[in-house]
Structure 1
Amino acid sequence: MRFAADRLAVGITKAASLADDLVRRFEEQIETGTMPPGARFPTEMAIVEAFGVSRPVVREAFARLSARGLLVSRRGSGAFVANGARYRAFQVTADEISEIDDVIKLLEMRMGFETEMAFLAAQRRTGSELQEMRRSLADMDASTEVDGSVAADTAFHAAIARATQNDYYLRFTDFLGVRLVPSRRVYLQDSDAATHQTYARAINADHRAIYAAIETGDAQAAREAARAHIQKSIARYRPHALVA
């Protein structure tokens, strides 16, 4: 029975891998425009013959493409590339930032976004947003565990986004959520409360420099402080990266 179960598990894994491969192939064709919106997918049988896979594998791949908004089925007509399929929402999933190297890539992407956000916040902030930033600074200083520091860190950046008075900054910041903050679980695995607090206060020192510039309305200083904050984060993570 154990042998049969193992064979079944291997079969399921292989089928999933084949479906993954099909999904990647079709996604690439859609993203490059080889299969534009409205284009008809090959029939199940055509895919079976072309790729040497089973019908269940094709159906699994189609189900995944449909779930991602890339495929629509029309009864009696077949499967088609969804309208607007090439304009899918930008995604950053938890699985994609599970390693130090991935965190560094996200930090590099954040560099331009964060610096300009701080620049605008210094020009447009109101008293309520400054109060929100001060609250998050206090929460960060008081944090002694991962979830508390992440929540405070996220709240600080959200307050800056809100201070830009630009809904797109706020919406993108909300979209990234805790992914905007480098994962403490990646960097501080198995660390004690004192280590977490020391780390949180080091991050908060950067936050205070950004806050000071925003509070005084010095947009250029806010931009530079935000850039220094991201650069320090990259430098902090890089020694732990697989590829330096």
Structure 2
Amino acid sequence: MTKTVSMADALFVKLEARIRSGELPPGARLPTQKEIAEEERVSRTVVREAVARLEAQGMAVARQGSGVFVSDEARYQAFQITRQDMGELAEVIRLLEVRLSVEAEMAAFAAARRTLTDISAMRGALRDMASVAEDPVASAAADARFHAAIARATQNETFVRLIDFLGVRLVPPRNLYLRDQPAEAQRAYVEKVRAEHEAIVDAIVRMNPVGARDAARHHMQESLSRHTELNEAANISRES
């Protein structure tokens, strides 16, 4: 399940990039599911999930009997953060700065409005993260699902759409921060992030908006600090 989700995420990002770059312009017909599956060497289930996400975000529209086409509105979706962007520390830091304020308030709203179903989704995502901790790609996908569950708990569709748009790009690539680090450092990082996530869930469960806001802000601030320090070290290295 997790592997399928992460493969669908990767395919979505690739198709999205082709649309945004103009390779697939508004009105263009997407290749068939069979063609995409063969070209990308993935299952049709993966293709269906990726294309469904394009449709959900208004980037593609299905026409019965004709196929799936790039929507005319796709040209107006100027804001984008690509997987390539997320390979650059400066872009990761800019996104984390935005998330610092957005996710703090999102957690507060979630604490005030969450349902038992929302709590179950958050805890399920945390269990998934723990079970695939050794796999950075699968772990990032589970991490993204955790934040998506918090967005849904706000009962505010705009939060849901924003977090869904960011998808796996919501989570900075672990190897960007932990490159060349020993296994012990990677395990310590995973445990620290787990504890930060648990603190957010605990406050949301207790319907404590102030505590949820503080826990989410702390989580984002920690990530921002880690990547800012890494960026500063990289700049010093380049200058020396």
TM-score, normalised to structure 2's length?
0.63
Q: What residue in structure 1 maps to residue 30 of structure 2?
A: none
Q: What residue in structure 1 maps to residue 145 of structure 2?
A: 155
Q: What residue in structure 1 maps to residue 110 of structure 2?
A: 121
1:90 maps to which of 65, 79, 88 = 79
Q: Tell me the SS of whatever aligns to 2:125.
A: helix
* Aligned: 1:223 with 2:220: no
Identity value in percent: 44
Q: What residue in structure 2 maps to residue 110 of structure 1?
A: 99
Q: Residues 179-201 of structure 1: CA distance to partner in whole angstroms, max 9, x if unpaired?
A: 11111131223556554333222
What letter is aligned with 2:210? Q
**Native 8 Å contact 1:104 1:234 kept in 2:** yes
Q: Tell me the SS of whatever aligns to 1:90.
A: coil
Determine the C-alpha separation between the residues in 2 that align with 1:194 and 1:139: 21
Q: What residue in structure 2 maps to residue 176 of structure 1?
A: 166
| Segment of structure 1 superposing worse, 208-217 or 190-199 | 190-199
Q: How does 1:183-202 map to 2 (within 5 A)?
A: 183-189=173-179, 195-202=185-192
| Segment of structure 1 superposing worse, 187-196 or 225-234 | 187-196
Structure 2: tracts of 5 or more residues without a match = 1-20, 27-71
Determine the C-alpha separation between the residues in 2 that align with 1:193 and 1:158: 29
**Native 8 Å contact 1:145 1:193 kept in 2:** no
Deviation, structure 1 residue 65 = 6.7
Q: What residue in structure 1 maps to residue 195 of structure 2?
A: 205
Determine the C-alpha separation between the residues in 1 that align with 2:115 and 2:157: 15
Indicate the RMSD between aligned Cα atoms, in angstroms.
2.4
Q: Residues 139-166 of structure 1: CA distance to partner in whole angstroms, max 9, x if unpaired?
A: 2233112123212211110110110111
Determine the C-alpha separation between the residues in 2 that align with 1:171 and 1:99: 24
1:237 maps to which of 205, 227, 237 = 227
Deviation, structure 1 residue 129 = 1.0
Q: Tell me the SS of whatever aligns to 1:152.
A: helix
**Native 8 Å contact 2:110 2:150 kept in 1:** yes
| Segment of structure 1 superposing worse, 88-97 or 115-124 | 88-97
**Native 8 Å contact 2:87 2:176 kept in 1:** yes
Q: Residues 124-146 of structure 1: CA distance to partner in whole angstroms, max 9, x if unpaired?
A: 11111101111222222331121
1:164 maps to which of 145, 154, 162 = 154
Determine the C-alpha separation between the residues in 1 that align with 2:122 and 2:86: 26
Q: Tell me the SS of whatever aligns to 1:206.
A: helix
| Structure of higher CA gyration radius | 1
Q: Residues 77-114 of structure 1: CA distance to partner in whole angstroms, max 9, x if unpaired?
A: xxxxxx98995342111222212222111100111110
**Native 8 Å contact 1:137 1:156 kept in 2:** yes
Q: How does 1:10-89 map to 2 (within 5 A)?
A: 87-89=76-78
Deviation, structure 1 residue 174 = 0.7
Q: What residue in structure 1 maps to residue 13 of structure 2?
A: none
**Native 8 Å contact 1:120 1:164 kept in 2:** yes
**Native 8 Å contact 1:145 1:196 kept in 2:** no
